Copies of this chain bind each other. A is one copy, B any other.
Amino acid sequence: MKIAIAQINPTIGDLPGNAQIILAAAHRAVAQGTRLLLTPELSLCGYPPRDLLFNPSFVEAMGMTLQQLARDLPPNLAVLVGTVEQNLKAHVTGGKSLFNSIALLEKGKVKQFFHKRLLPTYDVFDENRYFEPGLQANYFTLDNIHIGVTICEDLWNDEEFWGKRSYATNPIADLAILGVDLIVNLSASPYSFGKQRFREAMLRHSAMRFQQPVIYANQVGGNDDLIFDGFSFALNRQGEIRCRGRGFESDLVIIEFDEAQRDLKLGSVAPAYETEDEEIWHALVLGVRDYARKCHFSKVVLGLSGGIDSALVAAIATAALGKENVLGVLMPSPYSSEHSIGDALALGENLGIKTTTIPIGDLMQGFDRSLADLFGDTEFGLAEENIQSRIRGNLLMAIANKFGYLLLSTGNKSEIAVGYCTLYGDMNGGLAVIADVPKTRVYSLCDWLNSNGEVIPQNIITKAPSAELKPGQLDQDSLPPYDILDDILQRLIHNHQSAVQIAAAGHDPVIVDRVIQMVARAEFKRRQAPPGLKITDRAFGTGWRMPIASNWVAVKNAYQTKAFAIPTLVCWDGQDAHPRIK
């Protein structure tokens, strides 16, 4: 039996558009002799639909679309479609009012629903917010082949592989006991670098452990901050790769189940990317392309400072949208170096994009004059530096508003982490393209990009980074060297290490403490940042939920030295410990 994976790129909420893509894939699959078509988790509405699910008319429309799709599909093709299903007994049994479901469509009808059993509620996932978990093993029989159905997280609880259990049940174990021939997993699994290798290793372990062939169908495309990488694949019961779809592109992957062998035959295996840099590059290009397309922008604008961050973002945007759709704006100040302007122009030429130059010196003087009375003889400082950045932010937004362009912001993860960026200034934009890319990765991406000839002018890569907001300023005056900073941030953000643990790894405790303070203090900026494309296992954004008004970082050192104590208040009369103003 031939089975096809429709690795599709849905738009959130575009029910008829997504159904159209499924329908087109179905016709294509039938033309190749396919009996069963797999689509990703929630393929009808796109993943993640988030609070659209609280809208009853949206849920109702999804049901109508599903019924219509069943009628429109070729009659001899069975299709698994991701959709939501109402939990009609929720008011009696308790629980959420929806299931995250897969519908089996065949012969013009919706034949059966399967409910997702394990609901991820960590990182960017909020599935317990919307869904009730299914309680039963899911399977159906097609042409005498018993097919187990799992949805994304359902296969992420192999306690042998993980060394721990994340959920009480393991759906693949239940299906193996039932004796199915084949397990399909319909997913919408967001990208982070290295994740595909992890997915294949994990499912290889489960395939071998339970002696089950597994077909994994993933969504592809960018939806706000999340990039779905595709890379759908199948494993036989020995855990060997039998097929793999392309990364970061829609695809239709055909795989054959051998009814005599009760196992999957070898099909077409698209290669994985050779380097992390190449993989991340394609992820970011897709993220920009889809955010622009799905928000109905064809053109983008960004500031070109002559620095490496804006250079990389300009290159990504050019690859995503075409050079004719990218406008780079140079906004030199009296503090800008000659090489900044030259480097930015050289970059624009390399990419073939249009650039324009708007000096900001006069506007800076205008603000100085306007604030002269109030600021008096205070010294030049952060306020004045930020004014420059916000003048540039205003100019860029004016251009974006005037011509209907999408403004891309260019800050990297390292500077967003420590707040080395100006809110309402260089943080401005509809999408923060490299907000999850640490500075050291920015360098390696540019090196990779230049490996077949110069794209990013070499001087942009080799010169010392500077915000150029005052004379002679260098990033390294305010921050530790980026290799040190990025290692501290990795330990802090991804590994949840304490200051003591990070210092024990060889870092200067004073620097570690300063970085931790900076990260905490920048929380208010990050809360107002544009969505940033997620490429790591922990990005700022929907998967990072920190209080702003918090005092943990200020008190933590007392615990690390075991020197903490609970002081005694002199008196407390039932009022706040702090003085109140009536």
List residues of chain A with CB under 8 Å of any chain B CB. Answer: 9, 11-17, 19-21, 23-25, 27-28, 48-52, 54-58, 60-61, 64-65, 68-69, 72, 90-95, 121-122, 126, 128-129, 157, 163-169, 221-224, 249-252, 289-291, 293-295, 319-322, 356, 358-360, 362-363, 366-367, 369-371, 373-375, 378, 381-384, 386-387, 390-391, 393-395, 397-399, 401-402, 423-424, 428, 430, 496, 498-500, 524, 527-531, 542, 544-556, 558-560, 562, 564-569, 571-578, 580-582
Residues of chain B with a CB closer than 8 A to A500's CB = 57
Known: A528-B530, A549-B290, A551-B11. A16 touches B399 (CB 8 A): no
* Contact of B556 with A496 in the complex, beta carbons under 8 Å: no
* Contact of A401 with B374 in the complex, beta carbons under 8 Å: no
* Contact of A28 with B128 in the complex, beta carbons under 8 Å: no
How far in angstroms is the closest Cβ of chain B from A24?
Answer: 3
Known: A56-B498, A566-B65. A14 touches B547 (CB 8 A): no
* Contact of A69 with B374 in the complex, beta carbons under 8 Å: no
How far in angstroms is the closest Cβ of chain B from A473?
Answer: 17
Partner of A375, one of B16, B168, B402, B553: B402
Residues of chain B with a CB closer than 8 A to A360's CB = 370
* Contact of B165 with A14 in the complex, beta carbons under 8 Å: no
* Contact of B566 with A19 in the complex, beta carbons under 8 Å: yes
* Contact of A94 with B168 in the complex, beta carbons under 8 Å: yes
The 28 listed contacts between A and B (C-beta, < 8 Å) are A9-B576, A11-B550, A16-B555, A16-B564, A16-B565, A17-B577, A20-B577, A23-B568, A28-B574, A49-B547, A64-B559, A68-B565, A94-B168, A95-B167, A126-B126, A221-B576, A224-B548, A249-B575, A250-B576, A319-B582, A356-B374, A363-B363, A371-B395, A374-B399, A384-B398, A390-B394, A390-B398, A531-B548
CA gap between A381 and B398 in the complex, in Å: 10
Q: Which residue of B lies closest to A357 (CB)?
A: B373
Copy count, this protein chain:
2
Residues of chain B with a CB closer than 8 A to A399's CB = 371, 374, 383
Q: Which residue of B lies closest to A572 (CB)?
A: B24
CA gap between A307 and B372 in the complex, in Å: 26
Residues of chain B with a CB closer than 8 A to A572's CB = 21, 24-25, 27-28, 252
Partner of A398, one of B25, B322, B371: B371
CA gap between A122 and B96 in the complex, in Å: 10
* Contact of A13 with B550 in the complex, beta carbons under 8 Å: yes
* Contact of B551 with A294 in the complex, beta carbons under 8 Å: yes
